[in-house]
Amino acid sequence: MASSIRFLVVDDFSTMRRIIRNFLADLGYTNVAEADDGRTALPVLKAGAVDFLITDWNMPGMPGLQLLKEVRSDPVIKKLPVLMVTAEAKREQIVEAAQAGVSGYVVKPFTAQTLKDKIDKILASQATG
Amino acid sequence: MQTADFISRHRGVMAQLNHAYANADVATFERLITDLKVEREHALRTGIAKVSQALADALAKFQLDSRIAALAAKDMPDAQVRLDHVLKLTEDAAHRTLDLIEETAPLAESTATDARILAGTLDDRSHNDIRRFLGEVQGSAERVRANLTEVMLAQGFQDLTGQILHGIRTLIGEVESVLDELTKISGVEVTPQARAEDGVLHGPAVPGLSTDTVVDQNDVDDLIAGLGI
């Protein structure tokens, strides 16, 4: 069932973590954990306790792009869906994230529909892939 | 022009030098050379004096402007504290809004559900007014619920403005350290009078910066009452 999917939301701003968590709850996803940067997120991911990662890019400690690269280079969790939700809006950055293997990219500020579409699209491709 | 001036000034001297040289007049020759040397040194001294004066003027001007020192020592750090306070205020406001959304959204949701269920229990042939009303209640509650989601997402402004403020805060820190170096070089003493305080409205109180400000409305009331108003 969709609601059993375990999400991890990584953002250094507590307001944004809370917004995404609430939004996921609206969509029926209630199994949501939070981390405030890549460094605290990575052990949780490596423990295999996450099915879907939503991460910011610009964070102190370990930024989201580095976290994405760490995930993609780990044989156990390398296929984890990673949706980047960030204010970084330069084309070259989006290209960089894509090259690092991001599953989806949402630029802040975003609408409910955009975030829902991206999550649905990634889950659909997971199901068929 | 300078060349013409140079030639006319030295034509006489050259002729005298040539004459002394031709006649092996060593004493005159030496005197003429010494005169030339003295004239050259004098020009050099005048030039150095001019440059020194300009440098002294520039330094004096810089020292006079203790506003620069005040900027480095007080205003820049103050600006950082102010920005931190803005960050905190916006973060608190966003969380407060999210609190209220989390509290209100389930109410709207259950109202919509209850209205729908209740309308379903009513006989189709009677209670038309009540059924219509329940339909409106359900529609309104669903609309409220959807709008609350939009209000929630709008709180994302705090993340975006926060990131920009963090950037400005870093920039201020860099400017501060440059100004700090400049004032150390010039040796300007910072005096409290250096700040331009006159006629400035202070705006919202910033904890840790604002002195002599009221804490809340009770403070204001006490103060007003104390003044006999």
pLDDT in tens, chain B (229 residues): 566 777 777 788 888 889 998 998 999 999 989 988 998 899 899 999 999 888 888 777 766 567 777 788 888 888 999 999 999 999 999 999 999 999 999 999 999 999 999 998 887 777 888 999 999 999 999 999 999 999 999 999 999 999 999 999 999 999 888 888 877 776 666 554 444 454 567 777 787 787 777 777 877 778 778 877 7
pLDDT at position B58 is 76
> How far B150 CA lies from chain A's nearest CA (Å)?
7
Per-residue pLDDT at A2 exceeds 70: no
- The answer to whether the pTM exceeds 0.90 is no
pLDDT at position B194 is 46
Per-residue pLDDT at A1 exceeds 50: no
pLDDT at position B95 is 96
Q: How far apart are CA B175 and CA B76, in angstroms?
A: 8
Residues of A with CB below 8 A from B101's CB? 22
Read off the amino acid at residue B176: E
Q: Would you list which residues of chain B are within 8 Å, Cβ to Cβ, of chain A?
A: 91, 94-95, 98, 101-102, 149-150, 152-160, 162-163
In this structure, are residues A90 and A108 in contact, taking their beta carbons and an 8 Å threshold? no
CA neighbor of B172 nearest in space, from B66, B68, B62, B83: B83
Other CB atoms closer than 10 Å to residue A16's CB: what's the count?
24
DSSP H or E stretch at residue A35: strand A32-35
pLDDT at position A112 is 87
pLDDT at position B187 is 67
Q: Calculate the alpha carbon distances from B191 to B3, B11, B167, B199 in Å.
A: 54, 61, 30, 19
Q: Which of A37-46, A63-72, B78-87, B134-143 has the lowest mean pLDDT?
A: B78-87
Closest CA in chain A for residue B167: A58
Q: Do A14 and B101 touch (CB under 8 A)?
A: no
Count helices and strands in chain B by DSSP H and E runs:
7, 0
